[in-house]
A = this chain, B = another copy of it.
């Protein structure tokens, strides 16, 4: 019999669990888009978005998803035949590179596989070899949602600087913003892209490109930027409608207002700390399970693990089975493995992911872990003991 009837917990790495208050605020008739409340609300979002991003520079809001943000970021600083360096630690790194290629941009991909973050030394090496500075930008995904690898952005910045290369550092924080610590200006990112549906706790449909003066200079040097992607009027509008190149995403703006207020009320440092503790609790459980069976955290090095998503390996005979049990018997939906298929496991059945981004607290994460623990037991999947105790210890020490 199923025990899934009840409140479903969607623990996938985005869209994340939407706060009741965000959804409530979005439930409204269309507002006036020419004057009044919406206008003031929208302009008020900009400083808060920048605060979350750690930048004093500019932000452009797009109606779109993460792929739109990728495209927008590229459209503003790179022309066809320009060259970029794409150090890759998972599917999303490859994806951003792919979007660049489709724009006619030449991509030098360095693939670090599926179990490791970007190695800054290799970035430095590649840039050092680019003596005539053909490489215009380095595209680095902060947290690759597929592998859950977190790359060291300050170290990548340092690598670029160490060889005196002028390339822009463009960072994808889609999966990390509002979860893992990120400080755009302090860390020297020139462009940063993000989206609404993960750490920002708002339904999919809004995307963000943050950019500094160096990036803006690159923009100015382009012959042409398409109207919809042009970040300049969006970031510095003379008229309200320029903020969105047309009609505003009215309902998302209301939701975003509440989500940013929640982040400010808790405090960004506290938000990051919460994600860190909860992630460490998950890892502790995962390591315990792994000590007696096939359960394995995808990223071995804790410093290279995301605080927002955790990719797992459990063997192709177990992964999908465990996910199904959690969903069908217990009401917990886990993320599928993404970009992890191998010859031996073409459908990636041996992989799955925990999403733990945004509106997540201890009781949710403990419920997720306890459900997986129960699934392992019920399905007779070998696993080590003490997982929940280990998670409890992490939480207890917070």
A residues near B (Cβ < 8 Å) are 1-10, 12, 14-20, 23-34, 63-68, 70-71, 75, 80, 98-99, 102-104, 195, 197, 203-205, 224-230, 244-252, 262, 266, 270-271, 273-274, 277-278, 326, 329-333, 335-336, 359-364, 366-371, 373-374, 377-378, 388-389, 391-393, 395-396, 398
Give the contacting residue for A230; candidates B102, B244, B248, B270; CB below 8 A: B102
With contacts A27-B24, A274-B1 taken as known, whether A205 is within 8 angstroms of B7 at the C-beta atoms is no
Nearest CB of chain B from residue A111's CB, rounded to whole Å: 19
Report, nearest first, the 4 A-B pairs whose CB atoms are least far apart: A367-B367, A6-B361, A378-B396, A67-B246
Contacts of A247 in B (CB 8 A): 14-15, 65-67, 195, 197, 204
Contacts of A205 in B (CB 8 A): 63, 205, 249, 251-252
Find chain B residues with CB under 8 A from A224 CB.
80, 102-104
A16 to B364, CA, bound (A): 17
Complex interface: chain B residues within 8 A of A393 (CB): 377
Inter-chain contact B336/A4, CB cutoff 8 Å: no
- Cβ-defined contact, A250 with B27, below 8 A: no
The 22 sampled A-B contact pairs (Cβ below 8 Å) are: A2-B270, A5-B271, A5-B359, A5-B361, A6-B17, A9-B364, A26-B27, A63-B204, A65-B246, A66-B246, A67-B246, A71-B228, A99-B228, A102-B230, A103-B227, A204-B248, A329-B398, A330-B361, A331-B362, A373-B392, A378-B395, A388-B388
**CB contact between A4 and one of B25, B195, B361, B367 (< 8 Å): that residue:** B361
| Among candidates B3, B19, B64, residue contacting A362 with C-beta atoms closer than 8 Å | B3
- The residues of B that contact A32 with a CB separation of less than 8 Å are 10, 12, 333
Name the distance in Å between A235's Cβ and chain B's nearest Cβ. Answer: 16
Total copies of this chain within the assembly: 4
Closest to A360 in B: B6
Cβ distance A170 to chain B, nearest Cβ, rounded Å: 16
For A389, the chain B residues whose CB sits under 8 A away are: 377
Q: Given the complex of chains A and B, what is the CA–CA distance between A18 and B15 in angstroms?
A: 22
With A65-B245, A245-B65 given, is the CB distance from A364 to B6 under 8 Å?
yes
**Given known contacts A203-B250, A247-B14, A367-B364, A273 and B1 CB-to-CB distance under 8 angstroms:** yes
Tell me the smallest distance from the CB of A371 to a CB of chain B, in Å. 4
Cβ distance A260 to chain B, nearest Cβ, rounded Å: 14
Q: How far is the CB of A333 from chain B (nearest CB, A)?
A: 5
Is the Cβ of A227 less than 8 Å from the Cβ of B67? Answer: yes
List chain B residues, Cβ under 8 A from A367: 9, 363-364, 366-368, 370-371
Contacting pair B398 A370 (CB below 8 A): no
B228 touches A67 (CB 8 A): yes
- Residue in A33, A63, A278 with the greatest tally of chain B CB atoms within 10 Å: A63
Which residues of B are found within 8 Å of A203, using beta-carbon distances?
30, 249-251
Option from B18, B271, B362, B369 in Cβ contact (under 8 Å) with A30:
B18
Is A277 within 8 A of B1, CB to CB?
Answer: yes
Given A228-B68, A331-B361, A364-B331, the answer on whether A250 and B7 have CB atoms closer than 8 Å is no
Contact of A31 among B10, B29, B66, B368 (CB under 8 A): B10
Chain B residues with CB under 8 A of A331: 361-364
Contact A34-B19, Cβ < 8 Å, known A63-B204, A205-B249, A361-B6? no
| Chain B, Cβ-Cβ closest to A371 | B363
- Chain B residues with Cβ below 8 Å from A370 are 363, 366-367, 369-370, 388, 391-392
